[in-house]
Structures are given as C-alpha cells and as structure tokens.
Copies of this chain bind each other. A is one copy, B any other.
Amino acid sequence: MPRVDFWFDFASTYSYLTAMRIERLAQAAGVGIAWRPFLLGPIFKAQGWETSPFNLFPAKGRYMARDIERIAAARGLPFKMPEPFPQTSLLAARMALALPNEARAPFARAVFAREFGEGRSISDEEGLAPLLAQMGFDPRAVIAKSGEAAIKESLRAETAEAQGLGIFGAPSFVTTDGELFWGDDRLEQALAWAGRT
C-alpha cells in the first residue's frame, strides 16, 4: 500500500484541520498514513524566529484565525483558539512517541480536539493526563516514559529528519518517492500523488 508521512506539530492550527480528516481521505485513496509528530520551534529558530509566524506577523495571524474559522465551519468542526497561542507542544510530542504506534493517531486527535476544538491547554501534564486516562493508559507511566532520554532523543531525531526533508511548516506530507506537500490544503494532492505511484 502506498504511504504518506503526515508531519505535524501539536501547536499547529492547520495540523488540527488535517488530523481530523486525514484517515478518512487516506482510506478512500487507498493510502496508509504514518503519523510523525515533530517540533517546528527549532526549525523556526534556525531561521531567526523566536515564536510562531502568526505572532511575528500580526496580519498573517489574524488572517489564519479567520481562515481556520471558515474552513472548520464548512467541515462542521468546532474551533476555538487556545490561550496562549501557540501552546507548548513539547510534552505532547514526546508522549506521542512514547505511546505504542497504534495509539499515536487517536492520541493526536484527542490532543487536537482539546486544544483547538475546546480551546484548552495541552502544554502540561494536567491537560494531557486525562486524555491518556480516557484511552486506557496509565498517565504516570506515559509521563515517566516521555521524560526518558531515548524519547527526548527520538523527538530531536524526528525534528532533524523533518528539517532534512525540507519541511518548514506544518502540516507537511511526504510521499515515499520524496515529494513534499505543505498545508492542509495540499492533503488531497499528496494522497493523489502517493496513490498513483
């Protein structure tokens, strides 16, 4: 089965849009999805940005909020911006890597639903532990594993791989033949590309 790597940052609004629809579209296209959490922060920092471009460039930030609002409404998806924005996505990303592979997608959707569907915090253990518990995991065990050196290193390696692939924003999609697509609005194109090879 063809595969698309779905690279996302838990702080990213457009990644939320994709997370809530990618499995449905991928199934229809006969494409498998690998959920690949990474951190945009270090990539932004490497180009001189200390925060999200949506904060650095206010006109872009205002537009983004309205753009997401319109798209979410059209898709029947709730949308509420969390305070502060962006949320710190480090712990959620480490947890996603600490969980078994098959739990990664449902965990990611739960995080995104809390963060952008309800506008609640996902930056710390307090916000994330209930999601783990609802999935049947022991939050303390997952939190402990998320703090291990191997998981930290694994997230660093994922982020470095993303950067090496030319990724500069999220969501991004990479096909097995190396084509890069950026943005929720390129999801259909990425799936079509993967499906035809």
Contacts and interface: CB of A to CB of B under 8 A. Distances in A.
A21 interface: no
Given A47-B57, A57-B168, A63 B189 contact: no
Interface in A141-197: 166-169, 179-183, 185-186, 189
A62 B182 CA distance: 12
Contacts of A70: 189
A185 to B, nearest CB: 5
B185 A60 contact: no
Contacts of A56: 47
A125 interface: no
- Number of identical monomers bound together in the oligomeric complex: 2
A24 interface: no
Nearest to A165: B59
A57 B57 CA distance: 15
B185 A63 contact: no
A58 to B, nearest CB: 9
Given A67-B182, A182-B67, A185-B185, A166 B57 contact: no
Contact of A168 (B47, B59, B169): B59
A59 B189 CA distance: 20
Nearest to A168: B59
Contacts of A179: 66
Interface of A: 47, 56-57, 59-60, 62-63, 66-67, 70, 166-169, 179-183, 185-186, 189
Given A60-B169, A66-B179, A67-B181, 11 more contacts: A57-B168, A59-B166, A62-B166, A63-B166, A63-B168, A66-B180, A67-B182, A67-B186, A70-B189, A183-B185, A185-B185
8 contacts: A47-B56, A59-B167, A59-B168, A60-B168, A63-B166, A63-B180, A67-B186, A70-B189
